[in-house]
Chains A and B, each alone.
Chain A
């Protein structure tokens, strides 16, 4: 385990990609804490990763494969936290009305505002073509 300076086997591509993701997350966490930024560490990691992809013109095949694999099962990762709803039954029973009204109204309103605005703006620059 790290005591040997060289290794004969090819490193596992999935492990390599996972290491890259974890390193970016770690740097993101370190920056968030170190600079006292209010942005979550993994989000900074995502921004740094995006910048790295632009600089390197795209991810390696391994990184793309591993990322696609994780993101295909993104739903799975929400389950442990979602199950935490059982800690909030009392709160939900007490506040169901404001929470329900706010969720429904705000979700439909933000869809409407975004759609109307983007339609109006993209009429002036149809399909984003440069008018030259």
Chain B
């Protein structure tokens, strides 16, 4: 019955229920596929779910804002989830105290390299200012990255895309860098991937070994804090030097 279906659609498409349910369905489906494919990094669940949602929204002509009216209830949880990152971070506290200095020096150097090389290359190749600012926190876990991008005058939703891409790139590419440079220590491998590609890299490190995963989680948490504290001061200062 076409008219009835049409009426139901008109009603449903205006309630928050649809965006919220679609998000959960897309996530469940993507997670199922990811597990079936043995956690292949190219089938990252965020990427798959986003692709499905963009297709559904585009094909049904639903504006992003209408979708987000429902999906915002999921999005809101990024705040408490960021606070919750303190708990796994605390679990590494004993180990962290033991090798504090080498880890902190590496953290600062790696964090600056991740942000400034991205900003520098993008700017040199002619990206717009908004894109460059959205790119700056790309190596940091998404809830922090989006907050930092907003503070810098970037576009949080563009940052979300860049953060996701960075995570997948790191998860796929790190092993080749380690082979080339003969990096064998799992603590070193984990810490480096955690700095460069946050949670997606950390998930990858946990597949390699428990030790690599723990150091990656530690690097991810610390880099989130450091980047949030550092970038909103450093980038405006660098910009003022250039102009």
**Which A residues fall within an 8 A CB radius of B?**
18, 21-22, 24-25, 28, 38-43, 45-47, 49-50, 53-54, 58-59, 63-64, 66-68, 70-71, 73-88, 91-92, 95, 97-99, 101-119, 121-122, 124-125, 127-129
Residue of A73, A84, A107, A128 touching B170 (CB-CB under 8 A): A107
| Partner among B24, B88, B100, B127 whose Cβ is within 8 Å of the Cβ of A71 | B88
> For residues 36 through 87 of chain B, which have their beta carbon under 8 Å from a beta carbon of chain A?
45-47, 49-50, 53-54, 57-58, 64, 67-68, 71-72, 74-75, 77-87
Q: How far is the CA of A39 from the CA of B152 in the complex (A)?
A: 10
Residues of B within 8 A of A91 (CB): 128, 131, 158
Residues in chain B within 8 A of chain A (CB atoms): 19, 23-24, 26-27, 31, 45-47, 49-50, 53-54, 57-58, 64, 67-68, 71-72, 74-75, 77-90, 93, 95, 98-103, 105-106, 109-111, 113-114, 117-119, 121-128, 131, 135, 138-139, 142-144, 146-148, 150-151, 155-158, 160-166, 169-170, 173-174, 177-178, 181, 183, 185, 187-189, 191-193, 195-197, 199, 219, 221, 224-225, 228-229, 232-233
The main secondary structure of chain B at its interface with chain A is helix
A78 to B45, CA, bound (A): 10
Q: Given that A25-B80, A58-B90, A105-B121 are known contacts, is A111 also in contact with B173, CB under 8 Å in the complex? A: yes
User: Are A67's CB and B181's CB within 8 A?
Assistant: no
- Residues of A contacting B26 in the complex (Cβ-Cβ under 8 angstroms): 79
Which of B109, B128, B155 contacts A113 (CB under 8 A)?
A: B109
Chain A residue, CB-CB nearest to B85: A46
Complex interface: chain B residues within 8 A of A105 (CB): 117, 121
Residues of B within 8 A of A58 (CB): 90
- How far apart are the CA atoms of A80 and B65 in the complex, in Å? 10
22 residue pairs of the A-B complex, CB under 8 angstroms, read A21-B83, A25-B82, A38-B151, A59-B87, A59-B90, A63-B87, A68-B87, A70-B84, A77-B81, A77-B143, A80-B72, A81-B78, A81-B142, A84-B68, A85-B54, A86-B54, A103-B166, A110-B192, A114-B219, A117-B106, A117-B110, A122-B187
A12 to chain B minimum Cβ distance, whole angstroms, is 16
Name the residue of chain B whose CB is nearest to the CB of A88.
B158
- Which residue, A25, A46, A53, A98, has most C-beta atoms of chain B within 10 A? A46
The number of inter-chain residue pairs (CB within 8 angstroms) is 320
- Cα of A113 to Cα of B150 in the assembled complex, Å: 27
Q: Whose C-beta in chain A lies nearest to the C-beta of B150?
A: A40
Given contacts A68-B87, A81-B156, 20 further A-B contacts (CB under 8 A): A39-B228, A40-B148, A45-B79, A46-B85, A46-B224, A49-B84, A50-B86, A63-B87, A70-B84, A75-B49, A76-B23, A80-B71, A95-B127, A98-B123, A98-B125, A101-B122, A103-B138, A103-B162, A107-B138, A112-B177
Cβ contact within 8 Å between A114 and B101: no
